[in-house]
Amino acid sequence: MFDIVDSHGTPLGVLITAANHAEVTRIEPLLDQIQVPGKAPEHLLYDRAADSDPLRERLQAERGLELICPHSRGRKRPPTQDGRALRRYRRRYVVERFHSWVHNFRRTLVRYETTLARYTGWIHLACLIITLRRL
């Protein structure tokens, strides 16, 4: 499950795919499905799995988004971010807090459903309840 939340932890989009897909290839389809009310986001916080220079360049050129993620440990190329941009990464706890909110619903923690449509429905229901609690 890939999700995107705003700065308050309110879910904006969820993408459910198989576990054998690379996370880097799932970021752009997830961004395509969201419609942010008001102004567009300027920064995208992600974990080390998204450390890809081509992805950074595409997000900056096509969407005007700055990808903020720590560099992977085995990185061969020179770093593209300094410490100033990574200060925003401290707010990543908002995303992890949303994950814990979703996992408070038992059907989303362990996938009991046999079809993807049912599981997606439970995930969307959990996101709806979380959003209503935030209001």
Q: What is the pLDDT of residues 54-65, one digit of tens each?
A: 999 999 999 889
CB 48 within 8 A of CB 24: no
HSE toward the beta carbon, residue 118, CA cutoff 13 A: 6
Model confidence pLDDT, tens digit, residues 18-36: 888 888 888 898 888 887 7
Q: Is the pLDDT of residue 83 over 80?
A: no
* Rounded-to-integer distance, Cα 90 and Cα 69, Å: 10
6 confidence band (pLDDT: 50, 70, 90):
confident
Q: Name the amino acid, one letter, at 116.
A: L
Residue-level pLDDT at 7: 86
Residue-level pLDDT at 127: 94
Mean pLDDT, the chain, as a whole number? 87
131 confidence band (pLDDT: 50, 70, 90):
very high
Per CATH, which fold does 2-134 belong to?
Nucleotidyltransferase; domain 5 (3.30.420)
Q: Is the pLDDT of residue 98 over 90?
A: yes
Number of H helices, E strands in the chain: 6, 4
**Average pLDDT for residues 28-55, to the nearest whole number?**
83
* Rounded-to-integer distance, Cα 65 and Cα 82, Å: 17
Where exactly are the structural domains of the chain?
2-134
CB 43 within 8 A of CB 66: yes
126 vs 87 pLDDT, higher one: 126
DSSP 36-68: -SSSPPSEEE--GGG--HHHHHHIIIII-PEEE
Q: Name the amino acid, one letter, at 87.
A: R
Residue-level pLDDT at 59: 92
Q: Is the pLDDT of residue 39 over 80?
A: no
Q: Is the pLDDT of residue 103 over 80?
A: yes
How many C-beta neighbours within 10 Å does residue 55 have?
Answer: 18
* Rounded-to-integer distance, Cα 67 and Cα 4, Å: 13
- For CA atoms 74, 95, 61, 55, the dihedral sign is positive
